[in-house]
Amino acid sequence: MADQINWDDFAKVDIRVGRIVAVEEFAEARRPAWKLRIDFGPELGVKKSSAQITNYGRDELLDRLVLAVVNFPPRQIGPVSSEVLALGTYSDNRVLLVSPEPNAQPGDKLG
């Protein structure tokens, strides 16, 4: 089990609903990955992310709702500055995206 955190630690993590609006190949990545553009609504706008979720095709990702951490500092991954972390679970060496209910809206906060 991971180290326990308190409520204040968890409350610092800003997790929002986003809609994937663009999916591009990330040929420069060391491990296969996609470059994503995710729309988080009017407050946050569109953010970039690099995601090793190659078990999903482009068509499966485009227009999909996801949950992502939006308040990590940007992380440089090769030539891409990844601004958000799309959340997923690990299963048999694959990442399975965490998705909100279908009628959630971009920008909605997890809480």
Domain with residue 65: its CATH number is 2.40.50.140
Residue 87 within any structural domain of the chain: yes
Q: What is the pLDDT of residue 75?
A: 92
Q: What is the pLDDT of residue 54?
A: 82
Residue 62 within any structural domain of the chain: yes
pTM, entire model: 0.91
Q: What is the pLDDT of residue 104?
A: 97
Say which residues have a Cβ less than 8 Å from residue 96's Cβ, sequence separation at least 6: 55, 88, 89, 90
Per-residue pLDDT reduced to its tens digit, 57-90: 999 999 999 999 999 999 998 888 999 999 999 9
CA dihedral 39, 77, 96, 68 (to 10 degrees): -40
Per-residue pLDDT reduced to its tens digit, 33-57: 789 999 999 999 999 999 888 899 9
Q: How many helices (H) and strands (E) does the chain have?
A: 3, 9
Residue 91 within any structural domain of the chain: yes
